[in-house]
């Protein structure tokens, strides 16, 4: 649930409490789905590492977490222009904001792949 904490903190810092609440109401199923999927991956990763019976790479967790985090923050990407007035960042923020739903789906796919990877390693152990 650390990913959810990062999301709440970042959106509140960038856009304020009211905007955070409106985004949670509008996209709760995406946001909590991404956080839950990432949490399951972290649990499985920690479990496998604790057993010391499986060689598990943290790369899948890193990719999945970055994808999920980016998807979650896509809702307020256009506000990054106010904070980071760099021309390249503003263009990137606009693109991210336009493809919010697609990024949510990509984040969920990354979570499913990551969970599948961890379950496969668990079966091998």
**Which residue ranges make up each domain of the chain?**
2-124
pLDDT at 44: 84
The region of weakest confidence among 20-34, 71-85, 109-123 is 71-85
Q: Which residue has the tokens 């985004």?
A: 23
What is the Cα–Cα distance from 24 to 30, expressed in whole angstroms? Answer: 9
CA end-to-end span of the chain: 26
pLDDT at 16: 80
Q: Which residue has the higher pLDDT, 29 or 100?
A: 29
pTM over 0.85: no
């Amino acid at each position: 649930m650390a990913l959810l904490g990062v999301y709440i903190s970042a959106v509140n810092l960038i856009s304020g409490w009211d905007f955070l609440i409106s985004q949670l109401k509008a996209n709760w199923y995406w946001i909590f789905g991404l956080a839950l999927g990432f949490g399951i991956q972290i649990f499985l990763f920690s479990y496998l590492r604790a057993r010391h019976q499986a060689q598990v790479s943290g790369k899948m967790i890193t990719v999945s977490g970055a994808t999920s985090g980016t998807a979650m923050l896509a809702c307020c990407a256009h506000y990054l222009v106010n904070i980071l007035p760099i021309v390249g960042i503003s263009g990137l923020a606009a693109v991210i904001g336009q493809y919010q739903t697609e990024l949510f789906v990509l984040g969920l796919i990354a979570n499913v792949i990551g969970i599948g990877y961890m379950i496969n390693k668990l079966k091998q152990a």
